Structure 1
């Protein structure tokens, strides 16, 4: 078992969350964390890109582990994990772009 798989199983056992829930937490943490650390607005594609790259790399690693350790490849499961990871970051991005829920920069809409 690879270190990534060991870490995921350890988290599942010790945090008390299902694997699907961990994907949701990771996606939200990466999306919001990248926006906070780099001071990117939530409406920017950049925080979403961070979450997406991490989700894709995680699934590539899972596929690699399946090949190395001769376990079953489950492409539907991989897609499900990407979907779970990205759902709420995409929703937050869409809300940030289409509503005033998260506010707007004043320099974007100058007062005349």
Structure 2
């Protein structure tokens, strides 16, 4: 019951924002990265921030794998890898550029 209401809430939020699923994942990854980075002392160079994004992306995909196995009979690994990449690419690029000081100021 709770999972069905969560799924319905996420679908209605997606329709309200007019975002695709991929764009929603990108924004969620960036939001998690910035929230954890602000809470940590090193900010954009924070290892905690990038690991939080990777951890959340893997957790979401493991939950999605359960649905794939029950619905399709197999886990769509390439789709899961694409979703993980969508969620973590922009935060990873921001973290790399801050860690290696591409912005000097």
Fold match, TM over 0.5?
A: yes
- Structure 1: 5+ residue stretches without partners: 104-112
**Matched residues, number:** 102
TM-score by length of 1: 0.77
- Structure 2: 5+ residue stretches without partners: none
Aligned match for 1:77, one of 73, 76, 79: 79
- Does 2:25 match 1:23? yes
Decide which structure has greater helix share: 2
8 Å contact from structure 1 (residues 40, 47) kept in 2: no
Give structure 1 regions of 4+ aligned residues with deviation exceeding 6 angstroms: none
* Pair 1:5–1:75, CA change in 2 (3 A): farther
Moved more, 94-103 or 59-68: 94-103
Aligned mates of 1:13, 1:102 — CA distance in 2: 40
Q: What's the CA shift for 1:43?
A: 1.2
1:52 maps to what in 2? 54
Aligned mates of 1:30, 1:7 — CA distance in 2: 19
Cα shift readout 1:66-108 (whole Å, capped 9, x = no counterpart): 234x2363211111110000011011011101225276xxxxx
8 Å contact from structure 1 (residues 12, 19) kept in 2: yes
| Alpha-carbon RMSD | 2.2
